[in-house]
């Protein structure tokens, strides 16, 4: 039998989808676990059995007894879930178009080309530890696995970089330049010792001397959401609310993070605001759905949580996961059809898991 097509679901109202999702969840029972990333829209987030960042969710799913792992996030997150889960578990994403523009900025061909070009100046196997942010494709994690490299998250980046510099004198950090720069600077690495590798330019746009002198080689990648935040937005807000506290995700620019009182991962942002004194005001540099959820969650404590950018900006690819796609996915599972399975090839998964395992070993 063929899977039920998605097209009719696009016409359903959100409330009808909600009822059908709840009914499908009840039928599937403990065969199903739904993972909801913090940046998901509320209409999807409410159905999550576990919520959190991508690595935390994948580990929770792998520890569950569920047969089906439905990841309401983006493509690389479902890949990590597949890599870390058991062979009898199936990883699914409701919409295959839910990608990550940052992850797309560093594909395997570009990184391998960079590695070859770096070898014209020095021996990268002897001198460079490749570090990829978890916001990257499975084959990039596998590249790090093959080359004695490692994966990091925004939570453990400093611990990972400590390990990486213990292996080799330099780090190639991709795909997000801002997480690399902000973490490196907080470790005492001077800005002039961190250079940008422009993957559209020969030799990354760098001279041989610049490569030899660099401590960190930062990939020219960024998050389109966190790129929206500017230091002048902080200045303007503080003019109106001088008592406000500023908190930023480290995917934000160096200038924004330097002006922020607190810098950390989505989990760090949530916990910091949750544990703050009542009647405090926060300006937050991270994704809009999460900021709005925090404002609603803590307004009873007199906390005001504001989105930093005056321009409405959410993760457009994450937003592709909607109630219609989730209902379609679950009702197909009820009928015995697996749609949008994410299956990382065994050789890629093995090498990627090596890099992930190194990360888990060095993380607190």
State pLDDT tens for residues 117-147.
999 999 999 999 999 999 899 999 999 999 9
- Same domain, residue pair 117 and 203: yes
* Residue 355 domain flag: no
Inform me whether the pLDDT recorded for 187 exceeds 70.
Answer: yes
* Residue 354 domain flag: no
Distance CA 77, CA 55 (A): 8
CATH number for the domain harbouring residue 39: 3.40.50.10800
Q: Tell me, what DSSP letter sits at residue 338? A: -
- Same domain, residue pair 61 and 126: no
pLDDT band at 312 (very low <50, low <70, confident <90, very high): low
* Residue 281 domain flag: yes
* Residue 75 domain flag: yes
Close Cβ partners of 363 (under 8 Å, ≥ 6 residues apart) = 155, 156, 159, 160
* Residue 312 domain flag: no
State pLDDT tens for residues 278-301.
999 999 999 888 899 999 999 999
pLDDT band at 317 (very low <50, low <70, confident <90, very high): low
Q: Which two tokens stand for residue 103?
A: 């992850």
State pLDDT tens for residues 46-72.
999 998 776 777 778 778 889 999 999
- Same domain, residue pair 218 and 244: no
DSSP 1-21: -PPPPSGGGGGS-HHHHHHHH
Residue with tokens 């001198």: 127
* Kind of pairing between the strands at 90-92 and 341-342: antiparallel
Q: Provide the whole-model pTM.
A: 0.90
Burial profile 34-52: b = 16 or more Cβ within 10 angstroms, e = fewer: bbbbbbbbebbbebbbbbb
**Cα R_g (the chain), whole angstroms:** 21
- Same domain, residue pair 108 and 216: yes
Q: Element (H or E) spanning 327, and its range?
A: helix 323-334
As a whole number, mean pLDDT of residues 193-207 equals: 97
- Same domain, residue pair 114 and 210: yes
pLDDT at 99: 63
- Same domain, residue pair 188 and 244: no
- Same domain, residue pair 217 and 109: yes
* Torsion, Cα of 100, 33, 90, 335 (10° steps): -110
As a whole number, mean pLDDT of residues 87-108 equals: 86
- Same domain, residue pair 163 and 210: yes
State pLDDT tens for residues 333-342.
999 999 999 9
Distance CA 14, CA 35 (A): 19
pLDDT: which is higher, 92 or 318: 92
Q: What's the chain's length in residues?
A: 364
As a whole number, mean pLDDT of residues 160-180 equals: 97
Domain boundary residue, one of 260, 278, 307: 307
Inform me whether the pLDDT recorded for 216 exceeds 50.
Answer: yes
CA-based angle 64:351:344, to the nearest 5?
55
Q: HEC profile for 264-303?
A: CCHHHHHHHHHCCCCCCEEEEECCHHHHHHHHHHHHHHCC
- Same domain, residue pair 193 and 293: no
- Beginning with the edge strand found earlier in the chain, give each strand of the sheet holding 32-37 in spatial order: 50-52, 32-37, 68-72, 90-92, 341-342
- Same domain, residue pair 22 and 81: yes
Distance CA 324, CA 337 (A): 17
- Other residues' Cβ atoms within 10 Å of the Cβ of residue 341: 13
Residue with tokens 């494709």: 137
E strands present in 168-257: 170-174, 194-197, 216-219, 245-248
Q: pLDDT over 90 for what percent of the chain?
A: 77
Close Cβ partners of 30 (under 8 Å, ≥ 6 residues apart) = 65, 66
Task: Specify the number of domains making up the chain.
Answer: 3
- Same domain, residue pair 110 and 176: yes
* Residue 352 domain flag: no
Q: Which two tokens stand for residue 197?
A: 């590798």
* Residue 360 domain flag: no
* Residue 32 domain flag: yes
State pLDDT tens for residues 232-287.
999 999 999 999 999 999 999 999 999 999 999 999 999 999 999 999 999 999 98
- Same domain, residue pair 108 and 206: yes
**Contact at 8 Å (CB) between 323 and 345?**
no
Residue 120 region by backbone torsions, left for phi larger than 0, else alpha for psi between -120 and 50, else beta: alpha
Domain that holds residue 149: 103-223
pLDDT: which is higher, 193 or 289: 193
pLDDT at 319: 58
Q: Which two tokens stand for residue 66?
A: 């569920």
pLDDT: which is higher, 103 or 156: 156
């Amino acid at each position: 039998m063929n899977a039920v097509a998605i097209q009719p679901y696009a016409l359903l109202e959100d409330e009808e989808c909600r009822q059908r999702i709840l009914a499908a969840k009840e039928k599937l029972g403990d065969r199903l676990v739904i993972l909801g990333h913090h940046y998901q829209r509320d209409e999807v987030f409410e159905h999550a059995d576990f919520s959190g960042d991508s690595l935390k969710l994948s580990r929770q799913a792998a520890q569950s007894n569920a047969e089906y792992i439905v990841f309401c996030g983006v493509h690389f997150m479902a890949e990590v879930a597949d890599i870390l889960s058991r062979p009898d578990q199936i990883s699914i994403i409701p919409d295959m178009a839910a990608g990550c523009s940052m992850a797309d900025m560093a594909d395997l061909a570009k990184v391998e080309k960079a590695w070859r070009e770096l070898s014209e100046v020095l021996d990268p196997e002897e001198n460079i530890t490749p570090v990829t942010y978890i916001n990257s494709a499975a084959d990039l994690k596998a590249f790090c696995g093959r080359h004695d490299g490692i994966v990091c998250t925004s939570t453990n980046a400093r611990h990972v970089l400590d390990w990486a510099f213990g292996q080799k004198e330099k780090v190639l950090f991709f795909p997000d330049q801002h997480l690399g720069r902000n973490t490196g600077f907080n470790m005492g690495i001077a800005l002039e010792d961190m250079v940008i590798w422009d993957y559209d330019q020969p030799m990354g746009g760098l001279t041989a001397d610049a490569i030899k002198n660099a401590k960190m080689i930062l990939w020219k990648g960024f998050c389109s959401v966190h790129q929206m935040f500017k230091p002048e937005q902080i200045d303007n807000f503080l003019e109106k609310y001088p008592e406000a506290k500023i908190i930023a995700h480290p995917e934000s620019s160096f200038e924004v993070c330097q002006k922020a009182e607190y810098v950390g991962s989505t989990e760090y942002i949530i916990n910091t605001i949750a544990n703050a004194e009542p009647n405090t005001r926060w300006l937050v540099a991270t994704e809009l759905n999460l900021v709005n959820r925090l404002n609603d969650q803590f307004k009873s404590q007199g906390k005001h949580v504001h989105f930093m950018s005056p321009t409405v900006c959410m993760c457009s690819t994450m937003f592709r996961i909607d109630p219609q796609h989730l209902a379609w996915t679950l009702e197909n599972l009820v009928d015995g059809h697996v749609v949008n399975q994410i299956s990382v090839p065994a050789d890629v998964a093995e090498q990627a898991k090596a890099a992930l395992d190194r990360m888990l070993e060095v993380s607190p």
